[in-house]
Amino acid sequence: MNTKHWAKLLFLISFFFRKSIANDCAPYRVDNEIIACVCNATYCDGIPDNIPEVPTEGNSYWYVSNKQGLRMNVSEVKFDRCENFVADTTITVDSKKKYQKIIGFGGAFTDATGINIAKLSRATQEQLIRAYYDPKKGSRYTLGRIPIGSTDFSTRIYTYDDAPGDKLLKNFSLAPEDYNYKIPYVKLAVELNPEVLLFAAAWTAPLWMKQFDNNITYLKEEHYETYVNYLIKFLDKYERNGVNIWGITPSNEPLLGFMIDNPNISMTWIPKTQANWIANYFGPILASSPFNKTLLLTYDDNRIKAIEYVKAAIEIGGKYIAGIGIHWYKDSTYPATIIDRIHEKYPDKFILMTEASIFNPIWNCSSKLKSEAWQRGEKYILSIIDYMNHWSVGWVDWNMVLDKTGGPTVVNNNLDAPIIVNPETDEFYKQPLYYAIKHVSRFVDRDSFRISIIDNNSINSTAFLTPSGETVVVLYNGATSTKHIILKDLQKDSKLCLELSPQSMNTLKYK
């Protein structure tokens, strides 16, 4: 080999030096295309224990998942001058420009999630919870959402006091679902990661506390205080069972009653009525209770009426409100600038995306599984990037686990989930949805700051500075072709020169 070729080879070696580290997915294939990773009692892919959290000086870790089949494939890439690297675009990171502080990422401990986990062997159950909550091997989830009573993803309708007229709540009791499907797995998650914060959400008050108006239900004024006491009893019962609740949203989707005809899983509020109830009942009673450190989140619905509801709640009962819950279901119609407006108006209230999911299961149809699985993961990572770039302090999935039918669900509202269980083989499948969340949750610690990142819109991006001083950059290349990227960190003299594979999720971590 002549001197010119040797020089070129040495340049490329130093320029793109990567130290490959095994991180194998046990593939689930459809027509030879990798759709998911298979986990069982003895094996589940994850970041190996022997990888240091921080790469060597002058290098960055680079984690890649893509449509071609890579799943959290990790390597090390050197910072360099990128002099002869022809780039499609340059992305600039500036850790001196900081925005919101991150609380965390997670999912919901629905009845359906617990029912599906319980169908697996004990060893596989533990493997599954590790896949989400283990700080090293899993997704490092730090949030968990707990429904108060039944939801559409239960197998029956129930509240904690279905005895009509029981204003003193003498018949209040947790349900078998709490003891069998929620509390055990919540406690296992917290045991794996003590940093987990849990927040609860109520779909409805018991029917006897509500009034009906053409099958739309509202809380009766005579039961305003009764319902507060009901919620506080829930907090007390969970604490007595070893589960402390960090936050609470008293009404999941206050607009839902206008959209569906099912008073068992919805309770309608109009903005001013809910605001007055918070200001005069829930806020002050919670503040004077033993649970006065439990944070109150308002709204907990889609962007569609967020400004109207939040304005009323904060202007009337703002001193009791810590944060605002937002759901993702109408995001394609109602832009993220709505969240910007809320943040600008009420910068002292945090904004948290509290529910996302994708309609219609695909595991019983191979052609849909092949054509849609990656697209669904893409939707998740684009949503996470979008919410991070518009002031959200976290992102919380809905059902963490479902079966192949997208259930169980008491109202036939079948959905998809990041993890699908197969009890017949004692396995579970981690879909692209799972890796989309992990590309952020695993690396962005609580109290990280979102920092400035600038691109030309050809690559979707967001960036963070962790409490221990690492920079985390998340990039998504949605194109069907490779993109050549220069990542320029204004706090460094050198750059990262990257080839982003087609339709790929990328996380970079360096110090």
Secondary structure, 3-state, 2-59: CHHHHHHHHHHHHHCCCCCECCCCCEEEECCEEEEEEECCCCCCCCCCCCCCCCCCCE
Residue 250's Cβ-side half-sphere holds a number of Cα atoms within 13 Å equal to 30
Cα–Cα distance for residue pair 244/308, rounded to 1 Å: 31
Helix (H) or strand (E) holding 495: strand 495-500
Nearby residues of 126 by Cβ (< 8 Å), 6 or more positions away: 188
Residue 29's Cβ-side half-sphere holds a number of Cα atoms within 13 Å equal to 9
DSSP notation for 394-437: EEEEEESEE-TTS---TT---B--SEEEETTTTEEEE-HHHHHH
Cα–Cα distance for residue pair 511/497, rounded to 1 Å: 16
Tell me if 403 sits within 8 A of 421, measured CB to CB: yes
Which residue from 31, 20, 43 is spatially nearest to 430, judged by alpha carbons? 43
Q: Which of 253, 372, 378, 427 is catalytic?
A: 253
Known catalytic residue at 253: yes
Nearby residues of 305 by Cβ (< 8 Å), 6 or more positions away: 255, 271
DSSP notation for 346-404: -TTSEEEEEE---BS--TT-HHHHHHHHHHHHHHHHHHHHHHHTTTEEEEEEEESEE-T
Alpha carbon separation from 286 to 228, 251, 279 (Å, rounded): 8, 15, 11
Question: End-to-end CA distance of the chain, in Å?
Answer: 37
Tell how strand 483-489 and strand 401-402 pair up: unpaired
Tell me if 394 sits within 8 A of 103, measured CB to CB: yes
Cα–Cα distance for residue pair 89/457, rounded to 1 Å: 9
In the chain, the amino acid numbered 453 is: I
Known catalytic residue at 53: no
211 token code pair: 């009034």
Please, is 251 exposed, middle or buried when counting C-beta atoms within 10 Å of its C-beta (0-12, 13-18, 19+)?
buried
Angle among Cα 479, 483, 489 to the nearest 5 degrees reads: 125
Q: Give the phi and the psi of residue 233 in degrees, each rounded to 5.
A: -65, -35
Q: Which of 53, 191, 225, 355 is catalytic?
A: 355
Q: Give the phi and the psi of residue 235 in degrees, each rounded to 5.
A: -60, -40
Residues with a known catalytic role: 253, 355
